[in-house]
Amino acid sequence: MNDTQEKLVWIDGQILPADQAAVSVFDHGLLYGDGIFEGIRIYNNRIFKLASHLRRLYEGAQSIDLKIQFDQDRLADALRQTVKANNRENGYIRLVVTRGAGTLGLDPYRCPKSTTFIIVDAIKLYTPEDYENGLPIITAKTMRNHPRALNSRVKSLNYLNNIMGKVEAIKAGVTEALMLNHEGNVSECTTENIFMVRDNQIFTPPLSANILAGITRQTVIELAVQSDLPVHEQDFTRDQLITADEAFLTGTAAEVLGISKVDEHIIGSGKRGPITGQLMQAFTQLVAENAPED
């Protein structure tokens, strides 16, 4: 796809030019952040971890009592159809399900039908230098949502908690912020899961730290285990993170990205570490030709 080609969006069973695809101003996704989404990568015409993303989407919908108007097979076909319509061999998919149009007021049951749409586009959040040298990040003052208030395992349209952390990062002159949970432990960054390396062992916060159950996170854990690198899903503190040998982020957009610095603290050598580099290479090889769709 070239930059001049018209972008096409799938919305509730129709493919429309992007400037004609619209949701109602009465949609509760817009009014109240009531809905869910998935960000998915395309590699060489294959939708990476398609089944895993759809499974997470439908689990999230069930947990907030949101009925998706299409079954998983129909939605999988719609994703492939939209990728093909946009002639996008590599890129990014944003799959969104909102509560749909309804009346003013919070009552979700006054929205008779949910709205589903699919956007396919390019994405590039980080530079080649970021991947080579690692990313400096800050620690956000904004606390990660308490799991009993809003469970981070639901990839909700209500992203204000993450956005406020991102605002802190941008104002500090960096692109990412570390977020701590209500217990003071490391949770995740605003858009990525986080890992640290100590003594050739890998640590990442457990799901109970109120993190997203990241698809890329799980893939990297599996790649590490295949390489005989021990992985521990356990709580750790910011103090433990800043004294780590290495640290890195994982996410759909970021893939695998080293951390060079947290606040004023240099991590390891101050550049991407060797285990981070090993996992970056393993991930690149995994998606290079035959990215798994399961």
284's tokens: 């690149």
Angle separating helix axes 215-226 and 274-288, nearest 10 degrees: 110
User: Within a 10 A sphere around the Cβ of 209, how many other Cβ atoms?
Assistant: 23
Q: In residues, how long is the chain?
A: 294
- Location of structure tokens 């398609």: 50
Spatial separation of the C-alpha atoms in residues 64 and 28, rounded to whole Å: 13
Tokens of 270: 């101050």
Helix (H) or strand (E) holding 166: helix 160-171
Phi first, then psi: give them for residue 16, nearest 5 degrees: -130, 155
The dihedral over CA atoms of 30, 171, 121, 38, expressed in degrees to the nearest 10, equals: -50
113 is catalytic: no
User: How far apart (Å, rounded) are the C-alpha atoms in residues 90 and 42?
Assistant: 5
- Are 155 and 56 in contact by the 8 Å Cβ rule? The answer is yes
39: phi then psi, degrees, rounded to nearest 5 = -105, 125
Catalytic residue among 7, 155, 171, 271: 155
What are the φ/ψ torsions at residue 176 (nearest 5 degrees)?
A: -140, 155
By annotation, the residues acting in catalysis are 155
